[in-house]
Amino acid sequence: MSEFVAPKGVPDYIPPDSAQFVAVRDGLLTAARRAGYGDIELPIFEDTALFARGVGESTDVVSKEMYTFADRGDRSVTLRPEGTAGVVRAVIEHGLDRGALPVKLCYSGPFFRYERPQAGRYRQLQQVGVEAIGVDDPALDAEVIAVADAGFRSLGLDGFRLEITSLGDDSCRPQYRELLQDFLFGLPLDEETRRRAELNPLRVLDDKRPEIKAMTADAPVLLDHLSDAAKQHFDTVLSHLDALGVPYVINPRMVRGLDYYTKTTFEFVHEGLGAQSGIGGGGRYDGLMSQLGGQDLSGIGFGLGVDRTLLALRAEGKSVGSAARCDVFGVPLSEAAKLRLAVLASALRAAGLRVDLAYGDRGLKGAMRAADRSGARLALVAGDRDLDAGTIGVKDLTSGEQVSVPLDSVVSEVLSRFTR
């Protein structure tokens, strides 16, 4: 066994699985880019206070799951547990909110949470996210949701459902908070859960323990206590989703795990993943910009799990991305042939093909086995006799047919095979 292994809960993606991982990530990103979202690259770590203030100190993410440490300057920094707070920080810092609105950004990369590792739940999780900041428009909410839906469907995933609700606004949440606290304080809650009920009662509804879920089954529902404005906003979102052909299920008891959500809140779930059924989610965060020191602007976004989406595809028996790591594989049978094939490989790569070569002294059988394992469609086979004749053998690895092609025609012949 190797002396060093990956940390617990941190997956490696190696070929051929890595090709599927990249295809899922890129497919989800492509859906966002097509809707006008520009790419943003964010730091892996940020000031700890950014997440404590932005995500919410009462959340499990901040209180239990963050990777926080002091750097050599004795500053508290945290590996990012989610993407929205960092994007909002960047928008404020670089004045993007002073330009054309909404600011529409997309991103991908690793995020970090200290959770109990299990299938579909990792300590390093890969996500694709979008944020649309600066416009409070229910049509924008619907667009964001539709982008996520389109991303999943572009991969061929179809066994998922969209659950949606509204968490209200500043005019109805305070009264609901009091109503919910009155209900919770009448329950035999443990000390820690009672403390949560005092700090942020919605967090109790997000508790995954069966005994707490059973006790709160009859808790009042915020969707029944929306202000007129919040209800109109939610109804308009739903009408836009209907027009866009995005199916949904209203889940009045859904509570997301981050404190900044307001109004529209949603989650995509896939039953093929068992207990860890969520493959993505998001919502509106109308107070977060001002809370982090920026203008009082609204925002909405989502985070989609690349790892979980890949698992969901496998649960449906589907795969994406090509396991082949190259299109053409060169098989040199002499040193002179190795040099000649290296030159041809360079020309074919410049033309956009993926080309690999057999290195070392494998012999013909060993090199052809490597060609088969590579997934290439064609092999270029050459020895000294071929070079003396001024030809290269071009072999179709599917049919087994091999033809001799003049050296100066190899590139055009190979390219023509991939454009037929």
pLDDT in tens, the chain (420 residues): 678 999 999 999 998 889 999 999 999 999 999 999 999 999 999 999 999 887 776 667 777 789 999 999 999 999 999 999 999 999 999 999 999 999 999 999 999 999 888 877 899 999 999 999 999 999 999 999 999 999 999 999 999 999 999 999 989 988 988 998 999 999 998 988 898 888 888 888 878 788 998 999 889 999 999 999 999 999 999 999 999 999 999 999 887 766 678 899 999 999 888 767 899 999 999 989 999 999 999 999 999 999 999 999 999 999 898 777 899 999 999 999 999 999 999 999 999 999 999 998 888 999 999 999 999 999 999 999 999 999 999 999 999 999 999 999 999 999 999 987
Question: What pLDDT does 205 receive?
Answer: 84
Torsion of CA 65, 67, 68, 69, to 10 degrees: 150
- Where are the domains positioned within the chain? 17-172+226-315, 328-417
If one counts every other C-beta atom within 10 angstroms of the C-beta of residue 54, the result is: 23
3-state SS of 224-283?
Answer: HHCCHHHHHHHHHHHHHHHHHCCCCEECCCCCCCCCCCEEEEEEEEEHHHCCCCEEEEEE
Q: Which CATH superfamily is domain 17-172+226-315 in?
A: Bira Bifunctional Protein; Domain 2 (3.30.930.10)
Instruction: Give residue 206's pLDDT.
Output: 79
Q: State the binding site for L-histidine.
A: 82-84, 113, 127, 131, 256, 260-261
Q: What's the pLDDT score for residue 207?
A: 81
Closest to 222 measured CA to CA, from 179, 183, 256, 182:
179
Structure tokens at 152: 């999943």
Say how many CA atoms lie within 13 Å of 316 toward its Cβ.
18
pLDDT of residue 325: 83
Q: What angle do CA 403, 408, 411 make, to 5 degrees?
A: 70
End-to-end CA, the chain: 48
- Residue 1: its pLDDT value, please? 64
Beta-strand relationship, 328-332 and 355-357: parallel
Domains 17-172+226-315 and 328-417 in one fold: no
- Give me the phi and psi of 284, to 5 degrees please: -90, 145
Classify each residue of 70-106 as buried b or exposed e, where b means 16 or more C-beta atoms within 10 Å of its C-beta.
eeeeeeebbbbbbbbbbbbbbbbeeebbeeeebbbbb
Give the residue ranges of the annotated binding site.
82-84, 113, 127, 131, 256, 260-261
Class of domain 328-417: alpha beta
Spatial contact of 286 and 298, defined as CB atoms under 8 Å apart: yes
pTM for this entry:
0.89
